[in-house]
Amino acid sequence: MAASLSMALANLCFLLLLLSSSKAELSTNYYSKSCPSVFTTVKSIVQSAISKERQMGASLLRLHFHDCFVNGCDGSILLKDTLSFTGEQNAFPNRKSARGYNVVDDIKSAVEKECPGVVSCADILAIAARDSVVKLGGPSWNVKVGRKDARTASQAASNRDIPAPTFSLNNLSSSFRAQGLSTKDMVALSGSHSIGQAQCSKFRDHIYNDSNIDSSFANSRQLSCPRATGPGDKNLAPLDLQTPTVFNNNYYKNLINQRGLLHSDQELFNGGSTDSQVRSYSTNPSIFNADFAAAMIKMGNIRPLTGSNGEIRKNCKRVN
Ligand code: HEM
């Protein structure tokens, strides 16, 4: 009797848990009553920031990625270090590299004016990433919202969980698998490197030491990326050499021609299991666009804080 009662109780708990977790899902209409203007406000600020500087679209897209891969899409990357707080902005993948924080602050101020205390910084990152891709000519998708902001951040998790440009195909796949994303998602999301820039320090080894690189491409990249560490470390090169400010499938065409800028880029087309997907995206922009949009939605779903977890930060730079 006692056993069946505890069985029934356990079942009830399980049901309640299921109910509460299904309630906690993100949705596209989360702000339709509380802040109906949020999507137009974010879009207009993203568009004007990109009109001023095309690279900003790439930078905003990357911020969302670096947010989601570290303890979920919870706005943790936006928390600034203070004397008593160490966040993610100075973690190795972000330090002197991640950018766009000011645009996020501008968006947040505008949204706070319209709907104070309603829209999370984590959601702003997700919407801004989509609007950036669209503004630069890429696909659109419906952004799910309803994330809360974290009260913590983790430099250690950032160093551990964001994939590095030195990674092999296996390393890349496991780093995405750890976030619940497949190798297929990884190859699709890497198409983000159709826009934006990388610093010499991140691709030096590839252009000097790897053999799976087109030699004239390597030579031309070496002209502005000296072999020795020094002031040239920060010199920039486009991740897609032809159209670095247009979101398209050129990235994959480059990989087929051994013109990937990062070691990790070229790993996706290096005689391994992902070659066929790269080939397919290089000739089918619509398949790439559809897979990219689907994978962005999946990435945006990584362990969000919802319901009573987390907070709506007033200022994205610090906890309330
Ligand atoms: C597959 C593993 C990935 C690795 C190893 C990687 C690595 C890098 C590195 C090293 C840079 C250059 C940073 C610098 O030099 O300052 C970069 C730039 C960038 N990454 Fe990735 N990335 C990966 C996946 C992604 C994903 C999934 C996204 C987006 C969903 C993304 C979006 C970007 C963008 C847009 C830029 C250019 C940023 C700018 O110009 O400001 N990356 N990435």
Residues 44 and 155 in one domain: yes
Dist. CA 183 → ligand 1 center (Å): 16
| Last residue of one domain, picked from the residues 162, 181, 206 | 162
| Length reported for the chain | 320
Ligand 1 nearest-atom number relative to CA 186: 1
237 in the same domain as 180: yes
Q: Is residue 123 part of a domain?
A: yes
**134 occurs within a structural domain:** yes
Nearest residue (CA) to ligand 1, atom 12: 198
User: Does residue 314 fall inside a structural domain?
Assistant: no
Which residue type, as a one-letter code, is found at position 50?
I
Are residues 177 and 143 both part of a single domain? no
Strand-pairing partners, residue 305, are: 148
Domain identity same for 151 and 193: no
22: pLDDT confidence band, cut at 50, 70 and 90?
very low
DSSP letters for 125-191: HHHHHHHHHHHTT----PPPB--BB-S---HHHHHHHSPPTT--HHHHHHHHHTTT--HHHHHHHGG
pLDDT at residue 24 in the model: 62
**13 within a domain of the structure (yes/no):** no
Q: CA 260, CA 240: separation in Å to the nearest integer? A: 8
The ligand 1 site (C-beta within 6 Å) comprises 55, 58-59, 61-62, 65, 97, 99, 163-165, 167, 172, 186, 189-190, 192-193, 195-199, 202, 239, 262, 264
Question: Which residue's alpha carbon is at the smallest distance from atom 36 of ligand 1?
Answer: 196
Ligand 1 centroid from CA 142, angstroms:
23
Query: Does one domain contain both 156 and 129?
Result: yes
Q: Rounded CA gap, 282 and 292, in Å? A: 13
Tell whether 313 is covered by a domain: no
Half-sphere exposure of 93 (CA within 13 A, CB side): 22
Rounded to the nearest 10 degrees, what angle do helices 55-68 and 101-114 cross at? 80
Please indicate, yes or no, whether residues 86 and 191 belong to a single structural domain of this protein: no
Give me the phi and psi of 65, to 5 degrees please.
Answer: -60, -50
pLDDT of 15:
43
What mean pLDDT, rounded, does the chain reach?
Answer: 94
197 and 212 in a common domain:
yes
Write out pLDDT tens, residues 134-187.
999 999 999 999 999 999 999 999 999 999 999 999 999 999 999 999 999 999
CA 255–ligand 1 middle distance (angstroms): 15
Residue 83: other Cβ atoms inside 10 A: 5
Q: Which ligand 1 atom is nearest residue 264's CA?
A: 5
**Beta carbons within 10 angstroms of residue 174's beta carbon:** 14
Shared domain for 95 and 210, answered yes or no, is no
**214 in any annotated domain:** yes
| 25 — pLDDT class (breaks 50, 70, 90) | confident
- Alpha carbon of 116 to ligand 1 centroid (Å): 32
Phi first, then psi: what are they for 199, rounded to 5°?
Answer: -90, 150
Return the residue whose CA atom lies nearest to atom 18 of ligand 1: 198
Dump pLDDT digits (tens) for 248-297.
999 999 999 999 999 999 999 999 999 999 999 999 999 999 999 999 99
- CA 133 / ligand 1 centre spacing (Å): 14
Whether residue 293 sits in one domain with residue 191:
yes
Indicate if 140 and 217 belong to the same structural domain. no
Residue nearest to atom 25 of ligand 1 (CA): 190
In a domain? residue 176:
yes
Among 162, 190, 220, residue at a domain's last position: 162
Ligand 1 pocket test: pick from 192, 200, 246 the residue with the most ligand atoms within 8 Å of its Cβ: 192
Any domain includes 316: no
Residue 229, domain extent: 169-298
- The separation between the first and the last C-alpha atoms of the chain, rounded to the nearest angstrom, is 50
Angle between helix axes 285-300 and 55-68 (nearest 10 degrees) is 50
CATH number of residue 287's parent domain: 1.10.420.10
Burial class (CB in 10 A: 0-12, 13-18, 19+), 90: middle
Taking a C-beta distance cutoff of 8 angstroms, is the pair 304, 291 a contact? no
Contact (CB, 8 A) for 79 and 88: yes
Q: Are residues 152 and 255 in the same domain?
A: no
Number of domains forming the structure of the chain: 2
C-alpha 19 – ligand 1 centre gap (Å): 37
Closest-CA residue to 282 (of 264, 256, 243): 256
| Ligand 1 atom nearest to 58, measured from its CA | 35
What separation in angstroms does the CA of 61 have from each of 127, 131, 224, 269, 272?
A: 9, 9, 26, 23, 27
CA 294 from centroid of its chain's CA atoms: 14
pLDDT per residue as tens digits for the range 181-236: 999 999 999 999 999 999 999 999 999 999 999 999 999 999 999 999 999 999 99
Q: Which residues are catalytic?
A: 66
Tokens standing for residue 56: 């900003």
Statement to judge: residues 185 and 294 lie in one domain: yes
Output the domain CATH number for residue 115.
1.10.520.10
